A and B are shown apart, each in its own frame.
Chain A
Amino acid sequence: MTLKLSILVLGSPYNSQAAYSALRYTQAAISLGHEVYRVFFYQDGVHTSTRLSAPPQDEFNIYEAWQSLQKEHSLDFVTCIAAAARRGVLNDTESKRHNLPAANLAEGFDLSGLGQLVEANSVSDRLVTFGA
């Protein structure tokens, strides 16, 4: 049975294991042939979607791993626009709109509202949540 799955990431990369566990689950779901409809990043989970991070070279790069997973499978990654703006994760449009000096949303992620999470829940067989 193929499931339509959506993933919700609520924890930040270094204060929780949420972003890592969600990554491994998403990879496994894809490898087993399930459809990953959307990955939604909310609360501190939005920190996963920055492109301005540089973990030491001998450590696993969780940001890069998410970015290449998105690219490889053309996944729909949505970061909550309000939660991200509060925490300093912005794309070019948002950065200009708030009159700020830089943008840092990683490629492959979209900023959008909570409606995208609500919609993902209504069309998916399961919403799998990774909390902190």
Chain B
Amino acid sequence: MTTLHTLNRSPADTQLFKQLLSTIRVGDTLLLLEDAVYYCIKNNLNRTIQDIEVFALKDDVHARGIPFEGSDVKLASYEEYVRLTERTDKLINWY
């Protein structure tokens, strides 16, 4: 079973991120949206969650002026968010 996790809080909400980390598994997908796209600036995100495919919502990234070059995170549109929902068995929204 694979789960799509979405996170919408900024990196300052460490408690929420801690809850997410304790639940996410290898093979799951993480989509960052709203203020969670600021995780794209911190390159240590991928070291924290290895073997998880990470996406960030494109419009939220662009709106906030986040430098994206060199990031391992992939950009996703709202349509791709829906497709990720389709592709996984389950959804957990973290907010």
Contacts and interface: CB of A to CB of B under 8 A. Distances in A.
B92 to A, nearest CB: 9
Contacts of B85: 3, 5, 126, 128
A129 B93 contact: yes
- Contact-size category for A: 20 to 34
Given A18-B95, A28-B82, 12 more contacts: A3-B86, A17-B8, A21-B8, A24-B59, A24-B78, A25-B78, A25-B82, A28-B81, A31-B79, A34-B82, A34-B86, A131-B8
Contacts of A29: 82
B78 A27 contact: yes
A130 interface: yes
8 nearest A-B pairs in the assembled complex, by CB-CB distance? A131-B95, A28-B78, A129-B93, A24-B78, A28-B79, A17-B34, A28-B82, A29-B82
Contacts of B77: 28
A28 B8 CA distance: 18
Interface string B65-85: 000000000000111011101
Interface in A80-132: 126-132
B86 A132 contact: no
Contacts of B57: 21
A77 B29 CA distance: 29
Given A126-B85, A131-B95, A21 B33 contact: yes
A79 to B, nearest CB: 20
Contact of B95 (A28, A126, A132): A132
A54 interface: no
Contact of A128 (B59, B83, B91): B91
A125 to B, nearest CB: 9
Contacts of A132: 95
Residue of B79, B82, B85 most packed against chain A (CB within 10 A): B82
A128 B95 CA distance: 12
A63 to B, nearest CB: 20
Interface in B13-50: 33-34
A34 to B, nearest CB: 7
